[in-house]
């Protein structure tokens, strides 16, 4: 039987759980501490990510999403303990700006679905977080402290997660190889640049994106920042200005 999830070991306490059978190739990250585990993003929710997590930790798991989009919160239904940013709480209680018909279409688009899967039953996760996160908050899982960096742009409450001791930066949809999406009405290109400026100042040794290639290095953050700076100087950093290609990444405004 063809597996839905692919597991990669980052180090003895950190794993990447990927959904390569969907075109977005979403990556979720499991961080194990001495007292608990943190799951950054939970994927589309097409298959049960909890079954994979159970193989990798026996500690209590808290889920957190880089942002409240369907491809990052689909598996939240399996984790009673979850965190969310204060700016996107309304998206967890009926305020998401897209219809279920639109979301279901994106879920099955260019997707090698499991046999017999019925997308008509797909729902956008809704719920009340057990912890509301704000910029600068720290998630302590025992021997590992993960700092919340509020990095709006792709979405109002988007977060990157910074583990200073290991130099790990989990960038969600702010930074990845391929086309960055900054054209939705809920995106903010100017805020996107400010967020890139912020994380470029962090001494990251490794970058872990939420989509596509895992062969990515911190230097791409500086190239993205510079690209956004140039677009701003040219008066193009706004919705509707087009798609700009920089080789291994692009941005759709």
Structure tokens at 102: 């639109």
Beta carbons within 10 angstroms of residue 191's beta carbon: 18
CA gap 252, 198 in Å, rounded = 21
Residue whose C-alpha is closest to residue 16's, from 224, 167, 212, 165: 212
Q: Is residue 242 part of a domain?
A: no
Look up the CATH number of the domain holding residue 56. Answer: 3.60.15.10
Across the 253 residues of the chain, what is the mean pLDDT of every consecutive 10-residue run?
Answer: 93 98 97 98 98 97 98 98 97 95 94 94 97 98 98 98 98 98 97 98 98 98 98 98 98 98
- Mean confidence (pLDDT) of the chain: 97
* Res 40: pLDDT: 98
Beta bridge partners of 107: none
Cα separation, 231 vs 236, whole angstroms: 5
Other beta carbons within 10 angstroms of residue 134's beta carbon come to 12
The residue range of the domain holding 115 is: 6-176+205-217
Query: Do the domain assignments include residue 245?
Result: no
As for how many domains the chain has, the answer is: 1
* Phi, then psi, of 207 in degrees rounded to 5: -115, 135
In a domain, 223, yes or no: no
Domain assignment present for 226: no
Q: What is the pLDDT of residue 2?
A: 86
pLDDT digits (tens, 9 = 90+) for 190-248: 999 999 999 999 999 999 999 999 999 999 999 999 999 999 999 999 999 999 999 99
In DSSP terms, which residues pair with 245 in a beta bridge?
250
Q: What is the dihedral of CA 66, 158, 181, 230, to 10 degrees?
A: -130
- Note whether residue 94 is domain-resident: yes
Bridge partners of 140?
145
Is residue 227 in some structural domain?
Answer: no
């Amino acid at each position: 039987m063809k597996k839905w999830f692919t597991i990669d070991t980052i180090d003895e306490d950190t794993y990447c759980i990927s959904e390569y059978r969907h075109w977005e190739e979403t990556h979720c990250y499991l961080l194990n501490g001495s007292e608990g585990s943190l799951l950054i993003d939970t994927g589309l929710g097409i298959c049960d990510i909890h079954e994979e997590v159970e193989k990798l930790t026996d500690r209590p798991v808290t889920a957190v999403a880089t942002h409240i989009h369907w491809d990052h919160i689909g598996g939240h239904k399996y984790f009673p303990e979850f965190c969310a940013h204060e700016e996107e709480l309304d998206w967890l209680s009926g305020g998401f700006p897209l219809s279920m018909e639109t979301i279901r279409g994106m879920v099955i688009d260019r997707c090698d679905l499991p046999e017999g899967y019925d997308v008509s039953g797909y729902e956008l996760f809704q719920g009340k977080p057990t912890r509301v996160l704000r910029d600068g908050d720290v998630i302590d899982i025992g021997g590992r402290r993960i700092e919340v960096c509020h990095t709006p742009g792709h979405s109002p409450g988007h977060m990157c997660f910074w583990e200073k001791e290991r130099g790990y930066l989990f960038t969600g949809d702010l930074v990845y190889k391929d086309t960055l999406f900054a054209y939705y009405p809920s995106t903010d290109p100017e805020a996107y640049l400010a967020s890139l400026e912020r994380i470029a100042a962090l001494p990251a040794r490794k970058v872990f994106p939420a989509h596509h290639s895992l062969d990515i290095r911190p230097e791409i953050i500086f190239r993205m920042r510079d690209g956004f700076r140039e677009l701003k100087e040219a008066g193009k950093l706004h919705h509707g200005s087009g798609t700009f290609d920089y080789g291994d990444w692009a941005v759709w405004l």
